[in-house]
Amino acid sequence: MSRDISKEELTPFIKGDGLSGLAKALLLQQKSTWQQLKKGYDSLKGAEIKIFNFNGFQLKAQFNKERILSASAKVDKASIKNRKCFLCEKNLPLEQKGIKFNDNYLILANPFPIFNEHFTIASLKHQPQRIGSHFEEMLLLTKELGDSFVVFYNGPASGASAPDHLHFQAGNLGFLPLDYEKEKLLKKNIFPLKTIEESRIFYSKKYLRNFILLESNSFRQSVQLFNEIMEILSLINPHEDETMLNIIAYYRNDVWQVFLFPREKHRPDFYFLEEPERIIFSPAAVDFGGVCIFPREADFDRITKVLLTKAFAQVTITQSKYERLLNMLK
Ligand SMILES: [Zn+2]
């Protein structure tokens, strides 16, 4: 059964233009017809936030109990095989509808929101979560949604709770510190690495998270540079599924701005401690973008700058691998 929302259902909710306007309308329609989604957003309204100030940048912590399933998801192959895929069209809740994108994706409202407007963009085909050639689709999606949303990707071993079903996510702009930190961090935490025609590559320093930032107004060159970076990463930081990474992408003033966060580990050491030492913090793109999600109140209460610094040092790519990457990219 196709989950395409009909024009009649969507039209009364449309206020804005383009694909973002349709996505916003979908969210309103779904809140009015789908109880579980409404509950997710009601719960988000009361979500507590803590702000940690570092030298020139911020990290936020969000207490969000609805995220427990995602944060503690078992993503090993056996567990994945034994559950029904929640992104396949045939398994979606009856009330859930979506908007087609590019004929091969469905834009869906995420019932466990972190953002005030949070979407999952799921492939219509059940196929593994791999960025590879789908990076091109991510760029197109970012261009379509960029006036209102940031688009992100979690690798199969880097926080995706459906490593068996290709998907992206999108959230409203202005929420992740990364959305607005770049300009002010230039030459302090973000430095240019090289320029190639219309494209520029930057790297980070003392930002807790090692990243590569790719800026370009050329689709072709973005893809080419991305492939080059992925090739190097697969060499210096191989993983059986795909080199570990999270991607956060923007499209502003006709320029793609793509942050690549190569990863060393899926979860920090304190995630695996016995209770009561255990802290459930399972970082993915949103956390790397500066909003750290804690599904348990006790963990949210206990989290400190020191613990966050330790956690990111463990899950971001090691300094030595990062330097190799930068040297090979130069
Ligand atoms: Zn599926």
pLDDT per residue as tens digits for the range 189-232? 999 999 999 899 999 999 999 999 999 999 999 999 999 999 99
User: Quick check: 162 pLDDT over 80?
Assistant: yes
Considering the four listed CATH numbers 3.30.428.70, 3.40.50.1820, 3.20.20.70, 3.20.10.10, the one that applies to the domain covering 7-329 is 3.30.428.70
Of 118, 120, 114, 34, give the one whose Cα is nearest residue 66. Answer: 114
β-pairing verdict for 58-63 and 291-294: parallel
Whether 329 and 276 have beta carbons less than 8 Å apart is answered as: no
The mean pLDDT of 270-276, rounded to a whole number, is 96
User: Quick check: 173 pLDDT over 80?
Assistant: yes
The Å distance, Cα 65 to ligand 1 centre, comes to 25
The mean pLDDT of 71-76, rounded to a whole number, is 78
* CA gap 112, 115 in Å, rounded: 9
* Interval 91-102: pLDDT, tens: 999 999 999 999
Query: pTM higher than 0.95 for the full model?
Result: yes
Which has the higher per-residue pLDDT, 82 or 280? 280
Q: What is the pLDDT of residue 1?
A: 64
The Å distance, Cα 73 to ligand 1 centre, comes to 16
The mean pLDDT of 319-325, rounded to a whole number, is 98
The Å distance, Cα 127 to ligand 1 centre, comes to 7
Which residues on adjacent β-strands are paired with residue 185? none
Token reading at 19 = 């694909």
The Å distance, Cα 165 to ligand 1 centre, comes to 5
The Å distance, Cα 36 to ligand 1 centre, comes to 20
In the predicted model, what is the mean pLDDT of the chain?
95
* CA gap 186, 202 in Å, rounded: 9
The Å distance, Cα 35 to ligand 1 centre, comes to 23
Which residues on adjacent β-strands are paired with residue 261? 246
The Å distance, Cα 57 to ligand 1 centre, comes to 38
115: DSSP letter: S
* Interval 249-258: pLDDT, tens: 999 999 999 9
User: Quick check: 275 pLDDT over 90?
Assistant: yes
The Å distance, Cα 92 to ligand 1 centre, comes to 10
Question: Backbone dihedral region of 273: left (phi > 0), alpha (psi from -120 to 50 degrees) or beta?
Answer: beta
Q: What is the pLDDT of residue 187?
A: 84
The Å distance, Cα 290 to ligand 1 centre, comes to 29
What is the domain partition of the chain in residue ranges? 7-329
The Å distance, Cα 126 to ligand 1 centre, comes to 4
The Å distance, Cα 125 to ligand 1 centre, comes to 7
The Å distance, Cα 170 to ligand 1 centre, comes to 19
The mean pLDDT of 297-315, rounded to a whole number, is 97
Helix or strand run (H / E) with residue 256 = strand 255-262
The Å distance, Cα 233 to ligand 1 centre, comes to 27
Which residues on adjacent β-strands are paired with residue 192? 202
Which has the higher per-residue pLDDT, 68 or 292? 292
The Å distance, Cα 86 to ligand 1 centre, comes to 6
The mean pLDDT of 72-87, rounded to a whole number, is 85
The torsion angles phi and psi of 203, rounded to 5 degrees, stand at -135, 165
The Å distance, Cα 130 to ligand 1 centre, comes to 13
Exposure string for 40-58, b = 16+ CB within 10 A, e = fewer: bbeebeebeeeebeeeebe
Token reading at 145 = 């949604």
* Interval 26-36: pLDDT, tens: 999 999 999 99
